Copies of this chain bind each other. A is one copy, B any other.
Amino acid sequence: MSKQAPQRRSRAVRRTARLNAPVVMLPTLTRNIPVYEILDTEGVELIHQASLDLLEEFGIDFRDPEALAMWRDAGAEVAGQRVRIPPQLLLQLVAKNPEVVELHGRNPARSVRIGGRNMVFAPNYGSPFVRGFDGERRYSTLEDLQVFHKLAQMAPSLHLAGGITCEPVDIPVPTRHLHIADSLLRHSDKPFMGATTSRERAEDSVRMAQIVFGEIFVENHTVMVSVCNCNSPLVWDQTMLDAVKVYARHNQTVLLSPFVLAGASTPASTVGAVAQLNAEALSGIAFAQLVRPGAPMIYGQFLAPVSMRSGAPMAGTPEISLMNFMIGQLARRYKLPWRSSGMTSGSKMVDAQAAYEASMTMQSVLLSGANFVFHAAGWLEGGLTASVAKFTLDAEQMEMYYRFAQGVSVGDLDEVMATVREVGPGGHFLGTAHTRRVFEQAFFMPELLDNNSFEQWQAEGSKDAATRALEKARAMLDRYTAPALDPAIGEALSDFIARRESELPEGAA
């Protein structure tokens, strides 16, 4: 046995202990740092006014007869599908939206608050492909989705179980939403996301929530969040509006998010794109208030500028950051909770590009004060691929952003400066009483970012970050245990799904 063996064993033991440490859930992040304001007040007001003028003078399409009737009744000018909204009406409706949305987990310890200084982090959403444990890209399945729901349950920095983290394409479309919600509700006790691809799928999502939380609880509490995109420019279509109606009537929250391909579905201008999507998002918020005054909606957007070279959406570019900062300022002007998208990337793999892009955007999202950070873990290839490795790496990065947003305290400066005098010139601080007392908490120590020597890293297999992340994800799954669920509720969920499967057409879209 070599002389080094004991040390190696000890290192392995320490690593095992770390991997088996209890999961510490981070509560809602209450931001303790200032937001970053890129525009002065005049700039915010100019954009605000441009959005209101657009809605008043030019209008926006609501391609749904029921919605058009509701707008007409409320006093808007309706001509064909076009709705022109007087500014006073718009702002009166927007003012009915709560400033903070309380989102309940089926475990009350996992409930979160969205809005004000509160921030929550949610996983990737909507990818048809996956890069799983073998790293290969392929169509994703329900089994892959379950992996992501388990990982989200265990990741301290993720406040939501997620939704369609990846599409379970092995499940027929008409019943897919049932199995997605079932996986979410069984594998996690964090808040979850509902379906929006049709009115009846949204209603199924609400019914499943009612089974788990109870009907009365769901009518009075928000337990799920869904995402409805405006079809930029200036179209709310019937599918999305149907889902908004279902969720708003049931007091459930919706991300009312124009999906912006800046330069294609907006002008090629950051300020102009923001003015347009502000009009779009505000009209969606206002519509939800027509459905149910006080409905807890979330303002926001998904942003990707289009490349002139390839026509493809881009991620991690400076304009995305600039737009995030502006949108945050507008959201605060209206006192609306708002969402953005965090760890987005156009990279096809978990390489330096994936991290440069995700980080460039995420830091602006953090400092812009976004209340709901969507796509905070796992996103690759412009959202087409969900990656287990990136999910795990991103989740740790989100712990670091969480720590950052807790800010600094000057409270113990006197004690600290006494330590400097105690140590003196040329000394070192590792052994001081102050260091021994605070070190574990003083500096965040990432697990997936390797700061060992080159020789140590080489001895451990010269693994890149993606490889280490997959090892960590595997270790997390190995010690995953499902959160408690009343067996009667589990059975009721199964019964509901079986009934709906018998009612719904199989295989059709």
Contacts and interface: CB of A to CB of B under 8 A. Distances in A.
A214 B103 CA distance: 70
A438 B269 contact: yes
A66 to B, nearest CB: 18
Contact of A445 (B58, B308, B425, B444): B308
Given A356-B393, A429-B265, A464 B233 contact: no
B36 A309 contact: no
Given A61-B425, A353-B450, A403 B435 contact: no
A229 interface: no
Contacts of A275: 413, 416-417, 420
Contact of A353 (B408, B445, B465): B465
Interface in A314-343: 314-319, 321-322, 326
Contacts of A268: 429, 434-435, 438-439, 442-443
A126 interface: no
A476 interface: no
Contact of A307 (B425, B438, B445): B445
Contacts of A449: 314-316, 346-347, 353, 356-357
A483 to B, nearest CB: 29
A426 B269 CA distance: 18
With a 10 A CB-CB cut-off, give which of A54, A312, A359, A432 has the most chain B CB atoms: A359
B351 A359 contact: no
A486 interface: no
Interface stretch (A38-46, A69-77, A173-181, A247-255): A38-46
A94 interface: no
A351 B410 contact: no
A349 to B, nearest CB: 6
Interface in A13-29: 14
B348 A457 contact: yes
A310 to B, nearest CB: 6
Interface in A374-431: 381-382, 384-385, 390, 393, 397, 400-401, 403-404, 407-410, 412-414, 416-417, 419-421, 423-430
Interface string A343-381: 000111111111111111001100100000000000001
A271 B410 contact: yes
With a 10 A CB-CB cut-off, give which of A270, A423, A429, A456 has the most chain B CB atoms: A429
Contact of A356 (B276, B355, B412, B417): B355
B465 A351 contact: yes
With a 10 A CB-CB cut-off, give which of A36, A265, A356, A381 has the most chain B CB atoms: A356
A196 to B, nearest CB: 20
A224 B443 CA distance: 36
Interface residues of A, number: 127
Given A426-B61, A432-B267, A360 B359 contact: yes
A338 to B, nearest CB: 18
B38 A307 contact: no
A464 B352 contact: yes
B413 A326 contact: no
A53 B417 contact: yes
Nearest to A420: B276
A397 B314 CA distance: 14
B317 A272 contact: no
Contacts of A46: 410, 413
A503 interface: no
Interface string A253-283: 0000000001111111111100110000000
22 contacts: A50-B414, A54-B417, A233-B428, A233-B429, A234-B425, A235-B425, A263-B430, A263-B439, A267-B432, A268-B438, A269-B416, A269-B434, A271-B410, A308-B440, A318-B403, A319-B442, A347-B450, A350-B352, A356-B358, A356-B359, A356-B465, A382-B451
Given A313-B451, A319-B444, 14 more contacts: A34-B37, A38-B407, A47-B413, A234-B420, A263-B443, A268-B442, A269-B416, A269-B442, A305-B442, A307-B445, A314-B449, A315-B449, A319-B442, A351-B465
Interface of A: 14, 33-34, 36-39, 43, 46-47, 50, 53-54, 58, 60-61, 81-82, 137, 231, 233-235, 262-272, 275-276, 305-310, 312-319, 321-322, 326, 346-360, 363-364, 367, 381-382, 384-385, 390, 393, 397, 400-401, 403-404, 407-410, 412-414, 416-417, 419-421, 423-430, 432, 434-435, 438-440, 442-446, 448-454, 456-458, 462, 464-466
